[in-house]
Structure 1
Amino acid sequence: MGTNTAVSHLRGDGRGWTLIAIALGWVFVLGGRFLVPAVLPQVKATFAVGNLGVGVAVTLIWAAYALMQSPAGVLIDRLGEQRLLTGSLLLTGGTVVILGIAPVFIIFLFGCGAFGFATGLYGPARGTALSRTFPNNDSAAIGATLAAGSLGSAILPLTAGVLVDTLGWRTVVTALVPLLVLASVLTHRVVIQTYVSTSTSTSTSITTSPASDTSETVSQSQTPSIQKLITSGVRALRHQGVALAGAAVALMLFAFQGLSAFYVTYLVSAKQLDQSLAAGMLALLFIGGAVTQLIAGPITDRFGERITLTTMTALGVPALIAVPFIDDLILLAIVSVLIGSRLGIAPVSNAYIIAVLPDTVTGTAWGTLRSGFFLFAATGSTIVGAMAGRGLLEESFFLLAAITAVAAVLYARLPNRENTHSDADTHVS
């Protein structure tokens, strides 16, 4: 299937607005997480804190985001995606206000934690909403959304860097609020809501309805308790396809977190680049990711998940190894784009895992996995930071390349999603 055909399928049956709304929200949610680190020099000056203090602030954002993934997954199965996506955007807007008006650093830290929790509601619901809306083109839909987020991660921090000296960091940060509110309004109007309503009998109906009066009711068994959801969700994680893909994603996220946290630092210290130019290389990394996220769906439709994931992951190994040996600016820009192409595995992996999880616990199991992904990945920057402290920042690229190679081996063993989904349903029911 070509890219044009995939795009036409994403627009069919009025579903294009759903994709636009979810992708737009992700632009501001993910871009906002990289916007905050972009103004940390000004935050340090305002609150008279050092690198350790602002490092704790960034850690709080990502740790809180990770911890919210599992509860958000449970809430998908209880409340539905529309409520979580809309609520996440509105809550994120509120936490951005806290960041922008914080009078003292402790309040700023509180705002960082709240920001992480609020944005953490968005990720799991984003994935399941797209998977259910585009069951035959889930990789393409998720890829388009993640590509939008990657562009937001490149554009928002660069824009902040240009405007922060003129407008001040507080204004730059709070400018995100009206954008989040607009995204929440669009999401509420166009994303289909799935909710559970228990009748007087033992049966339960799941009703999906957009902003219009159209609705569809599907008969289901009695609403499971939260305890049963969690138990069944954890059990679903033990099956081969989920376990292999989950472990590979965790390793790739670990490598990316370690890389992205210190890429600019390395280019400035080891390659003697100007900080703005080094930040531009990081932006190229995200742009490379956006491109591969857009084309990952059509490539997967042609070659399948196992070949696509294994190839994309394996290509990242030589790119990481090459960084310490390159001094030419053009070659460094090319390698930066190639490193960013690793982000293309996300839509394919996400679509695969969501598809093979049992329908009754998709949100719970997916949220639990995401908590594990991001908590493990958060240690990547710690490990690379520790190596940098010992003068081994250059060697960290070789470590990250080795971790990427292990992920490629795991992807190479991935079973097809049809067999895995049947097996998972059998064991969980």
Structure 2
Amino acid sequence: MTRRQLFGSLCAMVFVVNLGRVVFAPLLDPLRAALTVDAAAVGLLASLVWVGSAVPRIPTGYLLTRVPRHYVVFATGATLTGATALASVAPGIRALQAAALLMGAAGGAYFIAANPLVSELFPSRVGAALGVHGTAAQLAAVGAPLFVTAVLARGRWPLTFRIMAAITAVATVLFTVVAWRTDLPAAGTEDRHLLVAVREQWRLILAGVVMLGATGFVWQGVFNFYPTYLAETKSLSESTARTALSVVFGAGVPAMALSGRLADRLDILRYILALLGGFVVVLLALTTVSGLAAVVAVSLVLGYVIHSLFPAMDTYLLGSLPDRHRASAYAAYSGTMMFVQAGGSYAVGFLRDARVPFDVIFRTFAGGLVVVLLALLVAHRLGRLPRGARE
């Protein structure tokens, strides 16, 4: 087997992994009705996926100093299969929240193992490879609302997770067979000391956490409640609102592919800061527009900007981290950043139960991001933002 075939199997894996992370967004309203729970409860359900995604990241980074990357990828696939099977038989919200936590944990561990592996498969084209890998993940996000709508038209919500369990099992077996037959890169064998990596690369790790942590917190709250927001505030039907969420994720498909290539070519810090500023502007625009055409147009731009940020951030770190620190430092960054952003959905749900209007919530969040962005711009101007890892 070739490295391209292994990369193809990783793209299949990331599709099912990301489907497990985003499938709850279009399911929040149906679950709230079926389980007779409030907005905070379903908001917590969505947040638990991302809390679960944060929890194993640093431990996985340590595990990767002892265990080959492809072993961990296999374990994440097996865990996700079991978690989705558990979700399909969950009798109530508590059991479903436990399953969501496990689904998130499987996804978090996957990205810590797989992203460094992808960067090592194609060391001269890190951004491009991460962009294609991210595009495969984004296709799952695009399809999630349509998938949920199709399943709910034929059955109840547990069928969603039964189907997911089956396709995850198939993707995991495919990856395992290909990995066994492929000559894997040896770069990761030098990464054996997590704390040493963190101590030497803490400036880059901190910069990444600040850049994506606050932005991710806002994005979690926005996209998990996007259909609800559009239905309540923009007077769209539930099915149209779910389709608009697909538009947001759909714009991420070309964004992932193009942004990875741009990250290989542009001044990476300026590019990231421009994307952060663009996200604030488009989020504010979302709270002011009305009418289907305007909402769809803003959704397209919003999806493109935010999804361009993810491969750019991964390229910023993985493209500059040396072999001996790559997985460990990336795990420390990713795990800390995910904890920061994980509460976004719960925060929005809590504020909505307190009857705070969606537009007020999103404008306040945008104001907070302006403060973060100004601080980053000042640090960049003063030369305090690291341009890459310490060799």
TM-score, length basis structure 2: 0.88
- The residue aligned with 2:103 is 115
* Cα distance change, pair 360–31 in 1 and its aligned pair in 2 (3 A): same
Count the aligned residue pairs: 386
- The residue aligned with 2:20 is 32
> Which is greater in Rg?
1
How far did 1:384 drift? 3.4
Amino acid at match of 2:314: N
- The residue aligned with 2:337 is 373
What is the CA deviation profile of residues 221-275 of structure 1, one whole-angstrom value per residue up to 9, with x for unaligned ones? 8x85xxxx34213313422x43223310112211211211332222111211111
State the distance in 2 between where 1:157 and 1:189 align.
31
Amino acid at match of 2:361: S
- The residue aligned with 1:211 is 181
What is the CA deviation profile of residues 252-303 of structure 1, one whole-angstrom value per residue up to 9, with x for unaligned ones? 2112112113322221112111111111111111111222111012223332
Structure 1 runs not aligned, ≥5 long: 1-12, 192-209
- The residue aligned with 2:258 is 295
* Cα distance change, pair 400–140 in 1 and its aligned pair in 2 (3 A): farther
- The residue aligned with 2:359 is 394
How far did 1:68 drift? 1.1
- The residue aligned with 1:304 is 267
Amino acid at match of 1:90: A
Is the 2:127–2:319 contact (alpha carbons within 8 Å) kept by the matching residues of 1? no
Instruction: Confirm whether residue 80 of structure 1 aligns to residue 68 of structure 2.
Output: yes
- The residue aligned with 1:314 is 277
Amino acid at match of 2:289: I
Which of these residues, 116, 124, 129, is aligned with residue 128 of structure 1?
116
- The residue aligned with 1:141 is 129
Is the 1:290–1:344 contact (alpha carbons within 8 Å) kept by the matching residues of 2? no
- The residue aligned with 1:91 is 79
Is the 1:309–1:408 contact (alpha carbons within 8 Å) kept by the matching residues of 2? no
State the distance in 1 between where 2:259 and 2:248 align.
16
Deviates more, 1:69-78 or 1:164-173: 164-173
What is the CA deviation profile of residues 6-45 of structure 1, one whole-angstrom value per residue up to 9, with x for unaligned ones? xxxxxxx943223221122111111122223433455455
Q: What SS is found at the alignment partner of 2:342? A: helix
Q: What SS is found at the alignment partner of 1:325? A: coil
- % same residue: 22
Is the 1:66–1:120 contact (alpha carbons within 8 Å) kept by the matching residues of 2? yes
Is the 2:25–2:225 contact (alpha carbons within 8 Å) kept by the matching residues of 1? no
State the distance in 1 between where 2:77 and 2:199 align.
31
Is the 1:69–1:370 contact (alpha carbons within 8 Å) kept by the matching residues of 2? yes
How far did 1:353 drift? 1.0
* Cα distance change, pair 387–182 in 1 and its aligned pair in 2 (3 A): same
TM-score, length basis structure 1: 0.81
Is the 2:227–2:238 contact (alpha carbons within 8 Å) kept by the matching residues of 1? yes
State the distance in 2 between where 1:17 and 1:400 align.
42
State the distance in 2 between where 1:386 and 1:103 align.
24
State the distance in 2 between where 1:304 and 1:267 align.
36
- The residue aligned with 1:60 is 48
Which of these residues, 155, 164, 174, is aligned with residue 152 of structure 2?
164
- The residue aligned with 2:316 is 352
Q: What SS is found at the alignment partner of 1:413? A: helix
Deviates more, 1:329-338 or 1:55-64: 55-64
Structure 2 runs not aligned, ≥5 long: none
Deviates more, 1:302-311 or 1:397-406: 397-406
Which of these residues, 195, 198, 208, is aligned with residue 245 of structure 1?
208
State the distance in 2 between where 1:109 and 1:316 align.
30
State the distance in 2 between where 1:21 and 1:30 align.
14
How far did 1:129 drift? 0.7
Structure 1 vs Structure 2 CA RMSD: 2.9
State the distance in 2 between where 1:359 and 1:269 align.
49
Instruction: Confirm whether residue 280 of structure 1 aligns to residue 243 of structure 2.
Output: yes
State the distance in 2 between where 1:168 and 1:220 align.
47
Is the 2:47–2:344 contact (alpha carbons within 8 Å) kept by the matching residues of 1? no
State the distance in 2 between where 1:106 and 1:390 align.
24
How far did 1:337 drift? 1.0
- The residue aligned with 2:380 is 413
- The residue aligned with 1:194 is none
- The residue aligned with 1:270 is 233
What is the CA deviation profile of residues 54-112 of structure 1, one whole-angstrom value per residue up to 9, with x for unaligned ones? 33333322212111111111122221211111111111101111111234554333322
Amino acid at match of 2:211: A
Using CA pairs below 8 Å that are at least 6 residues apart, which structure has the higher relative contact order? 2
* Cα distance change, pair 352–219 in 1 and its aligned pair in 2 (3 A): closer
